[in-house]
Amino acid sequence: MVVINVKIDDYEIPAHLHFSKDHLWAHIEGDKVKVGLTDYAQKALHEIVFIDVTAAGLTVTQAQALGTVESVKAVSEVLSPVSGEVTEVNGKISSNPELVNKDPYGEGWIAVIKSPNIDVDLKNLMTAEQYAAYVKQQLEASKAPT
């Protein structure tokens, strides 16, 4: 299988992932979903200095706070792209939050969520192509004169 990634400006968007409007990615593996911040989100936040994530065993609903991410610019909520039980949290990012900046789609993942209703949640997520169009729209809006 050949994976074609989409690129908008300097932002990488892996084709095999799904995306939320809150700039989180979701990698679906059966009923488990690995989630993290997109390349666009980590670059917008700049240098990430701290991440606080909901503990494993807790249940989240789609678009509910999964945790917070703090950068030199701001503190932002991380909103879960799917509903379910948090089964794993990436322990590496608590001591090395810069992993999210260095490798947002790899070592910088945030959590794994067991999602029993993934088909329902998928309806609210975007494909890579849809997300690329969304990012392009946001970039154009940010450049528009006020």
pTM score, two decimals?
Answer: 0.91
Q: Which domains does the chain have, with CATH numbers?
A: 29-118 (2.40.50.100)
Query: At 18, phi and psi to the nearest 5?
Result: -115, 155
What pLDDT is recorded for position 146? 59
The tokens describing 11, both together, are: 């932002």
What does the pLDDT look like over 73-115, one tens digit per residue? Answer: 899 999 999 999 999 999 999 999 999 999 999 999 999 999 9
Q: 85 burial class (0-12, 13-18, 19+ CB within 10 angstroms)?
A: middle
**Residue type, position 96, single letter:** N
The tokens describing 66, both together, are: 């999964």
What does the pLDDT look like over 49-63, one tens digit per residue? Answer: 999 999 999 999 999
